[in-house]
Structure 1
Amino acid sequence: MSRRIVLSAAAGVVVLGGAGAFALAYAGDQSPTLAHSTARYTAPAADRDGSLTFTTDVTASSEVKSVKVLAWPANSSFAKKGLTAKDMASVDSAVCKPSGGDSERCTYKVPVTQADADGSPRGQWHVAVLVTAKDGDTTLDTKAADFTVA
């Protein structure tokens, strides 16, 4: 084998190895992602409270630190001004459990009393989610799921 071919092959391995290392480093430093988000609203009945249950799968390369959840009516002030991470700072948190690899299954459940339902706007609602990873990366999805209050 000529010396030129050996040097070219070695240079190719170095270039491909460097690209692979970059791809792995980039893949390991992604912002958290949400998948399979669902919201289920059950109205209260005469003899029992209703509930709002939101579930989502969260993937974060540095593990999940917190998942904040806020249900908001589509015709609220948030629809006009936009929802921010600052708005999400003091809202309730979901409970997350490992579901394999870098993923966690997160669930937020809150009871809905008849008084809550009577005082809530009717129509479409959105569920906003703020995910914070342990490395500080965040993802805000202001419309992760929808439900309707009739």
Structure 2
Amino acid sequence: MDPAYAALQAEVFALRIELRAVQDRQAIADLIAAYGPAVDRGDSRGAAALWAADGSYDLGDFGNARGHDEIAALFDADLHQGLIRDGAAHMLGPPRIAIDGDAAVAVCYSAVARWTGEAFELYRVAANRWTLRREAQGWRVTGRANRLLDGTAEARALLAEAHRPPD
């Protein structure tokens, strides 16, 4: 085989791997970015569909849910419905993403602002660790842990997860 052709093949292969990594990162970032608008518009089923069928959402003291029905029920609960009825915005910072094949971990901040009738106030700020896997329809959340950034070691530990590879 011509050495120049072999080098070109190797370069094309490397570029395909890089492109897939970029596409995966963008797909994961888009998935996480879709969460806030879905829950703020009251689309509980749409928000729950971001999770895998066996996915979980761990909100610590605010509750835990597994599977689409339980996760949607969190968003349909009085606490959340009252929040969005009065005006709220769920905002997620850019995630730091680590990908290993068909598994990924993303760590980011989240903040919820609520309307007081005169202005928005910051209601909640939290650390988030998302675990994800590639499925036939694309990336889905297998787990999300969310902890208030209230000085606890547990919340800081979630932020440290940004440096740990996917399970």
Shorter-chain TM band: 0.3 to 0.5
Q: Which has the higher helix share?
A: 2
Larger RCO (alpha carbons 8 Å, 6+ apart):
1
Point out the structure with max Rg over C-alpha. 1
Q: Which has the higher strand share?
A: 1
TM-score of the superposed pair, with normalisation by structure 1: 0.37
TM-score of the superposed pair, with normalisation by structure 2: 0.34
